[in-house]
Structure 1
């Protein structure tokens, strides 16, 4: 599929999705959100893809925020619809994909950009990255899951301070907060993400999908995460990957998972 605002390519079972609006610091607009949805959907359905890496074009920004010009004149109902649709087709969609999504944060990740990075399963940052949720400085609050995911990742107190001050933190502070898993140089960012993706790709994609579902369940209201874990654990016993994994272990050889 041809896109106007993003790039999508696959190599060695890894899908690289790049937000490509460098003149806008890769800001999210309606079209970009819809294109990202389609790209993630295609990657999810492609059985050859094991891991997805999301990044921004250039060296300045992952995503510097949402395109404010698109919603500056919205009323209350339009604002609610904007947040609801965005969460449904992109942010919640990414979080609940069965394939791991790594955010390669290569610069500014602000507002909707940080919210998108937080929707990914984990984050790796370049040492020039800056992150924050500046929405209250515009008279609004984060609307793409920021008030929910940030406290889960860094704790309530730190999330409150970040949101209320509308300030930015650098990559090393994000690392100390647990907001990102690793910090590296701009040049080594994608190679490091690829290295991690390679390790993931060698494991059972079926089991990884089940693990994502079980982990996410812990953060859903009204859902017993332990019960989901028990069910997903049991379901693994009925898969070809389980047969291959246990057989390979007993035979002291490397597993070749069929992905089913």
Structure 2
């Protein structure tokens, strides 16, 4: 367990197959500085190549998940703060993480924070949380995917544009209804539920889980015919591995499968 106080992202292993990442800039309400994004990307890069890690949970210790981008960096450097290649590489690594990623959100989740958790495969939200894209209040607009992932891919244009153009936050209840999050829970239960889901996923066939994620992401970026072709290639590959043999044998023998990821 790595729990250094100066770490902007704290790494924990609540289970051998689960990596828990906690954003750790509480005084800045976890504003997404270039340094924090870099540490998060480094942790996910290492998790990508660690065969023991089958699922990652992203969370925080404090009540604010993230206040968004680091305004001081943007004020000092302007567009270069967003276009810096190192920062862009970090976002690309996070967006391209191939293993299941769960976000457990408590408190406010604003701007870049919302853009970050929209990269998760499963998003759990505390019932007292609020989500917003407030960039327009400082004279800019979302710059890390907010206009693209909210609309039309998740909530549809009317609600997305209302959020982007007005700064009006939405409640956890409305976020569930809009399809942004999968579950709303009491704040004290969000992380526990996320870890429980992570344990379920970590007991599933890892190649199948990663292939399912890849195919699902393709649906956002390709026509249906191309997405179906990607799905067929993924299932064809999965059937060449040992896990389906183990899964089918366990089903017939009425026992729990032991998936190896090979």
With the shorter chain as reference, the TM-score category is over 0.9
Distance change (3 Å), C-alpha of 1:5 and 1:209: same
> Per the alignment, in what secondary structure is the counterpart of residue 35 of structure 1?
helix
Match of 1:140 in 2: 140
> Per the alignment, in what secondary structure is the counterpart of residue 94 of structure 1?
helix
- In the alignment, structure 1 residue 72 sits paired with structure 2 residue 75: yes
Match of 2:105 in 1: 105
Match of 1:123 in 2: 123
Q: What CA RMSD, in Å, does the superposition of the two structures yield over aligned residues?
A: 1.8
> Per the alignment, in what secondary structure is the counterpart of residue 192 of structure 1?
helix
In structure 2, distance between residues paired with 1:11 and 1:178: 29
Tell me the TM-score normalized by structure 1: 0.92
In structure 1, distance between residues paired with 2:214 and 2:29: 32
> Per the alignment, in what secondary structure is the counterpart of residue 118 of structure 2?
helix
> Per the alignment, in what secondary structure is the counterpart of residue 260 of structure 2?
coil
Offset at 1:70?
A: 0.5
Distance change (3 Å), C-alpha of 1:11 and 1:242: same
Query: Is the 8 Å Cα contact of residues 103 and 124 (structure 2) preserved in structure 1?
Result: yes
Q: Deviations over 1:80-111 (max 9, x none)?
A: 614x6545422x43333221111101111100
Q: Which runs of 5+ in 2 are unaligned?
A: none
Q: Deviations over 1:211-240 (max 9, x none)?
A: 011111111257911110010010011111
> Per the alignment, in what secondary structure is the counterpart of residue 224 of structure 1?
helix
Offset at 1:252?
A: 2.3
In structure 1, distance between residues paired with 2:24 and 2:66: 10
Match of 1:246 in 2: 248
- In the alignment, structure 1 residue 172 sits paired with structure 2 residue 176: no
Aligned equivalent of 1:20, options 24, 27, 38: 24
Match of 2:58 in 1: 54
Bigger drift between 105-114 and 149-158 goes to 149-158
Tell me the TM-score normalized by structure 2: 0.92
Aligned length: 256
Match of 1:158 in 2: 159
> Per the alignment, in what secondary structure is the counterpart of residue 218 of structure 1?
helix
Match of 1:44 in 2: 48
Q: Deviations over 1:36-88 (max 9, x none)?
A: 001111222222122111012212x1111111000114355x25614x65454
> Per the alignment, in what secondary structure is the counterpart of residue 7 of structure 1?
strand
Which residues in structure 2 correspond to 1:232-243 (within 5 Å)?
Answer: 232-243=234-245
In structure 2, distance between residues paired with 1:70 and 1:87: 15
Q: Structure 1 runs of 4+ off > 4 angstroms?
A: none
In structure 1, distance between residues paired with 2:89 and 2:144: 9
